[in-house]
């Protein structure tokens, strides 16, 4: 889309040389044909180095952009991003085409496939499952009834998706107007499950806003688990039922996430972190340790805390 036309559509003034915009991305990842945005001071250091052709930005920060980057001045950059995202969203339709499949695939007649689907060898897809447009599924992967894989997803080899799993649904992303309306940010990225991943029944892995949501090799996820958009879950992690990870959080390898526990968004967890059941992680954590409670702290400190609370309650009862 031409930048001049895009600005008209989202209510911005633009009078410079027109350029073609091919997509949206973060300041760090945007290319010279993509639009980006700035609305959080923690990304301030990324402004001088961005390669984005244009950036939605407040006037007070515009001078930090490279000279070749167009500053699109607005006091609502996040809202303007949401409005722009609609024009780069994948067009959903119900058309299908003959899929490409390897040897010995077992596909139930009641399974559905979109356009451009590619299957490896020995893939099994059971009744009621839907595989969206341009999805790739590796060899020996098993997809149980009524699982749904949205468009442009990639599923590795030797994976198992249990009944009701949803891969690549839109992440929970909205911008808010000054009067409290909620404007959808179209989720234009995708989801990748690497080899030997197993996803339990009715769990959901959201697609990225832009870029990719990753579930790395060998990870095993229980039933009723939610992974938000743009997360990157490390290799060989384990997640128990009713756990959740909010968007843009990155974990190291061998994470253990106990049942009904949750991790807030935009955090980083090191390798070999264990989170006890019903805990709430609110900040980034170092690897190689066990954490518990809300907000989650080291497990041994949490145990001491519980002893002291119990002691206080006991003394109060005695009085």
Catalytic annotation, pick one of 176, 182, 229, 299: 229
What whole-number distance in Å separates Cα of residue 111 and Cα of residue 130? 6
Q: HSE of 84 in the Cβ direction (CA atoms, 13 Å)?
A: 31
The reply to whether 229 belongs to the active site is yes
Q: 166: Cβ–Cβ under 8 A, 6 or more apart, which residues?
A: 147, 148, 150, 203, 204, 205
Residue 154 half-sphere exposure, CB side, CA atoms within 13 Å? 14
The two structure tokens encoding residue 285: 């954590």
- Work out the number of other CB atoms within 10 angstroms of the CB of residue 189: 20
Residue 111 makes CB contacts below 8 A (sequence gap 6+) with 125, 126, 127, 128, 129, 130, 131, 143
Q: Residues 6 or more apart from 238 whose CB is under 8 A from it?
A: 219, 220, 254, 255, 256, 257
Number of other CB atoms surrounding residue 16 within 10 Å? 12
Bridge partners of 193, per DSSP, are: 155, 215
Catalogue the active-site residues.
Answer: 229
């Amino acid at each position: 889309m031409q930048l001049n036309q895009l600005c008209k559509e989202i209510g911005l003034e633009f009078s410079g040389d027109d350029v073609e915009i091919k997509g949206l991305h973060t300041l760090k990842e945007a290319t010279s044909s993509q639009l980006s945005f700035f609305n959080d001071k923690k990304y301030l250091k990324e402004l001088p180095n961005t390669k984005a052709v244009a950036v939605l930005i407040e006037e007070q920060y515009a001078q930090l952009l490279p000279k070749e980057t167009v500053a699109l001045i607005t006091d609502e950059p996040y809202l303007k991003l949401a409005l722009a995202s609609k024009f780069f969203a994948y067009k959903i339709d119900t058309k299908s085409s003959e899929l490409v499949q390897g040897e010995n695939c077992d596909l139930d007649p009641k399974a559905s496939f979109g356009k451009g689907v590619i299957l490896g060898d020995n893939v099994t897809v059971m009744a009621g499952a839907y595989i969206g447009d341009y999805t790739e599924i590796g060899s020996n992967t098993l997809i149980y009834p009524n699982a749904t894989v949205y468009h442009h997803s990639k599923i590795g080899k030797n994976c198992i998706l249990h009944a009701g799993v949803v891969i690549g649904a839109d992440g929970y992303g909205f911008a808010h107007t000054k009067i409290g309306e909620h404007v959808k940010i179209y989720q234009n990225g995708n989801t990748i499950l690497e080899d030997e991943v197993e996803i339990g029944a009715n769990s959901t892995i959201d697609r990225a806003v832009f870029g990719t949501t990753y579930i790395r090799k060998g990870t095993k996820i229980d039933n009723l688990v939610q992974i938000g958009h743009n997360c990157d879950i490390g290799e060989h992690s384990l997640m128990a039922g009713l756990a959740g990870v909010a968007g843009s959080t990155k974990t190291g390898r061998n994470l253990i996430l106990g049942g009904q526990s949750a991790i807030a968004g935009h955090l980083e967890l090191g390798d070999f972190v264990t989170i006890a059941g019903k805990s709430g992680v609110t900040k980034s954590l170092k690897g190689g340790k066990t954490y518990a409670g809300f907000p989650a702290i080291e497990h041994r400190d949490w145990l001491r805390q519980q002893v002291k609370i119990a002691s206080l309650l006991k003394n109060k009862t005695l009085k």
